[in-house]
Structure 1
Amino acid sequence: MTQTTACGTPVATGESATVGETRLEAELRRLAGSVPDPELPVLTLEELGVLRGVQILAPGTVEVKLTPTYTGCPAIEAMTSDIERVLHDHGIPEVSVVKVLSPAWSTDDISAEGRRKLAEFGIAPPRAHAAEGPVPLTLSVRCPNCGSTDTELLSRFSSTACKALRRCLSCREPFDHFKEL
């Protein structure tokens, strides 16, 4: 049996793109994941790691699972409406976005491409955490402009609660640092 994706591509139902995910669900996940984050538009929701899954519940009915970066994140409403709009535009009439709070989002969920884009955009990305080993007691943050680790904290909060404002003591430029969680 074949089915046509929202983009018009025929796919066999039941064929998996990944374990437990049909090719149609994979395509819908790609579409939902391509939505830019409203607070950091340089990143997509997939790169930020907040998109947890897409499931077809019935013909024309899709559920998208989304984990906010923190419980009270105000951007979740904009993410939800942007995902709904993108999937509606691709022929899905019924879209529900469900907030998933467990497991909680962590900065470890940001993809390598997302970290690269943050640095390229002038935001120091969070450091990746080792699965095991000691937790560092000091935080050295590399300046995204010149690469120096000689930086200072100006404010624990920046334009969003997820970022801190820092300044490089070498090039004297201020920059945002995406906090590790």
Structure 2
Amino acid sequence: MVTGMVTTKQRPPTEAEVWSRLEAVMDPEIPVISVVDLGIIRDVAWGEGELTVVVTPTYSGCPAIQVIEESISDAVRDLGVENFRLETRLSPAWTTDWLSERGRERLRDYGIAPPACRAEQVIDISRIMHRREKVIACSHCGSSATEPVSQFGSTPCKALYRCQACLEPFDYFKEH
């Protein structure tokens, strides 16, 4: 939990204004997707003169969470908020289902293939095995002729794939 104090004479920002400001806070590992589009901001609420921002990291041990929390704190301070707190909520666990459509498009435009299916579709082992046969479209040329290279990519949430049509490697944002 992070707390902060800033003095201000202005009216406090509305929850909508806070959400809007948080849309400009980018994920440090994928700098084209905001923490809002990533779906890790779960709630923004005023209560008893204090702003609470609820964050659910993509992984409980996410190495970027400290940087993300500092960026969120800076954004809230930029709005002139006097009292705020960041609350980390691990349950329910974050899922790629929480990615916004805009976030999925930004991933694709950046060269990262977004999750091919919803996380709830890969709950049991038979579906997980079927998912491995699922076609992941190349983020460069759109071809469905792709193959996994490694289940471990540049960050814990990505896998490495290769396109057999354009021969380019690309990251795939794993569903979970």
Q: TM-score range by the shorter chain?
A: 0.7 to 0.9
2:18 matches 1:44 = no
Partner amino acid for 1:27?
E
- Give distance in 1, aligned partners of 2:118 and 2:159: 18
Partner residue in 2 for 1:154 = 149
Partner residue in 2 for 1:68 = 57
- Give distance in 2, aligned partners of 1:179 and 1:132: 13
How much does 1:127 deviate? 1.9
Partner residue in 2 for 1:84 = 73
Please say if residues 113 and 172 of structure 2, whose CA atoms lie closer than 8 Å, have aligned partners that are also in contact: yes
Partner residue in 2 for 1:27 = 17
Partner residue in 2 for 1:4 = 11
SS of equivalent to 1:4: coil
Please say if residues 33 and 51 of structure 1, whose CA atoms lie closer than 8 Å, have aligned partners that are also in contact: no
Cα separation, partners in 2 of 1:132 and 1:155, compared to 1, 3 Å: closer
Which of residues 170, 173, 177 is equivalent to 2:172? 177
How much does 1:172 deviate? 0.2
Partner residue in 1 for 2:134 = 139
Q: How does 1:102-117 map to 2 (within 5 A)?
A: 102-117=91-106
Q: Which structure dedicates a bigger proportion of its chain to helix? A: 2
Cα separation, partners in 2 of 1:88 and 1:130, compared to 1, 3 Å: closer
Please say if residues 22 and 34 of structure 2, whose CA atoms lie closer than 8 Å, have aligned partners that are also in contact: no
Which of residues 48, 57, 60 is equivalent to 1:58? 48
Higher relative contact order (CA 8 A, sep 6+): 2
Number of matched pairs: 161
Q: Please list every run of 5 or more consecutive structure 2 residues that lacks an aligned counterpart in the other structure.
A: 1-9
TM-score for both structures, normalised by structure 2? 0.84
- Give distance in 2, aligned partners of 1:50 and 1:37: 10
What root-mean-square deviation, in Å, do the aligned CA atoms of Structure 1 and Structure 2 show?
A: 2.1
SS of equivalent to 1:87: helix
Partner residue in 2 for 1:13 = none
Q: How does 1:110-125 map to 2 (within 5 A)?
A: 110-125=99-114
Q: Please list every run of 5 or more consecutive structure 1 residues that lacks an aligned counterpart in the other structure.
A: 7-23
Partner amino acid for 2:11?
T
* Greater CA drift, 92-101 or 82-91: 92-101
